[in-house]
Amino acid sequence: MSVNTFLDNAKVMAKGQVTIPKDIREVLGVASGDRITFIVEGNTVRIVNSAVYAMQVLQREMAGEAGRIGLSSDDDVMALVKESRNEDENS
């Protein structure tokens, strides 16, 4: 196991509920009221912070989009943002 790998366990209650151990919650960055996502791959389940996972999915989906529309520098991006803001203000 790597340095960042550790084991913990929890008991499944009658209604299928499980308390996520504190050290796992800290690693995931989740607190009371936050959402988690279960990713099932074969017989393995990963639990991830839903907000972090959603951002990772968005980043993967957007990868390369700037280049496809001709944005090759930070200046190009800033110009597009300014243009978009001007259009919003003029609408």
DSSP string, 22-60: HHHHHHHT--TT--EEEEEETTEEEEEEHHHHHHHHHHH
In a domain, 84, yes or no: yes
- What b/e sequence results for 41-70 when a residue is b if at least 16 CB atoms lie within 10 Å of its CB, and e otherwise? eeeeeebbbeeebeeeeeeeeeeeeeeeee
In a domain, 82, yes or no: yes
In a domain, 16, yes or no: no
Residues 3 and 11 sit within 8 Å (Cβ to Cβ) = no
Structural domain count of the chain: 1
In a domain, 28, yes or no: yes
In a domain, 86, yes or no: yes
In a domain, 8, yes or no: no
Reading the chain (91 residues) residue by residue, the pLDDT tens digits are: 456 788 889 999 999 999 999 999 999 999 999 999 999 999 999 999 999 888 888 888 888 887 888 888 889 888 888 988 887 777 6
> How high is the pLDDT of residue 62?
85
In a domain, 43, yes or no: yes
> How high is the pLDDT of residue 80?
85
pTM score: 0.59
> How high is the pLDDT of residue 2?
53
* Domain that includes residue 50, residue range: 22-90
In a domain, 14, yes or no: no
